Chains A and B, each alone.
Chain A
Amino acid sequence: GAVVSQHPSRVICKSGTSVKIECRSLDFQATTMFWYRQFPKQSLMLMATSNEGSKATYEQGVEKDKFLINHASLTLSTLTVTSAHPEDSSFYICSAPQGEGPPYNEQFFGPGTRLTVL
């Protein structure tokens, strides 16, 4: 199957700093990538859709100015958590769907990034 990587796998930062997380599709191109957030013992919640060549689309309740998404190329999307606070501490996971035409089927997940804000 297709491979999606994420970097870093774990990051600890001080409150008020910004953190960038990278998501790469290693052996396929992805014009769309998704960013999910998972709090401890909870489910994965879709935060936003990263679109190559256009602006990201955000789910209701997700602050676009706080969670900056840039789909830099057909294999790279980045999520920047700006002015991070302890409540942003979570597990962030990206995914990319197989195939580019509808209907999308299997999504391939990155290994996730554990963010801890002190």
Chain B
Amino acid sequence: GENVEQHPSTLSVQEGDSAVIKCTYSDSASNYFPWYKQELGKRPQLIIDIRSNVGEKKDQRIAVTLNKTAKHFSLHITETQPEDSAVYFCAASTPLPTGRRALTFGSGTRLQVQP
């Protein structure tokens, strides 16, 4: 099955700095890579996603890059703000034996933005 590894597990940055979180995946059949922000006790919130036919996507301060050959993708947050502090998860959409696709999540990164 799919294995998604995520690094670092914790990340502390100063307000205004950039933050980068990296993930690798193992299944070349994975074709969709979302990133989620999760606050304590709440559902994951989709912040950006990328499909396997695209190498980079940007949405204001957030960007994601995908390297299919190397099987890795990264989240970039620029001009970080204290409200960016949360746990971030990467995920890969992989096929199940049934033909459906489910998400395999990385282990998460706790981002702390210091004012």
Contact = CB atoms under 8 A, between A and B. Distances in A.
Interface stretch (B37-45, B54-62, B75-83): B37-45
A49 B98 contact: yes
Contact of B41 (A44, A107, A110, A114): A114
A46 B49 contact: no
B105 A91 contact: no
A43 B41 contact: no
A64 to B, nearest CB: 15
Given A111-B42, A114-B41, A44 B96 contact: no
A85 to B, nearest CB: 22
Interface string A15-52: 00000000000000000101000000011111001010
A49 B89 CA distance: 21
Contact of B99 (A34, A102, A112): A102
Contact of B43 (A43, A106, A109): A109
Given A43-B107, A44-B105, A104-B93, A111 B43 contact: yes
A46 B103 contact: yes
Given A43-B108, A46-B104, A91-B41, A106 B98 contact: no
B42 A112 contact: yes
A42 B105 CA distance: 10
10 contacts: A43-B89, A43-B106, A43-B107, A44-B105, A46-B102, A49-B100, A97-B100, A105-B49, A105-B51, A106-B49
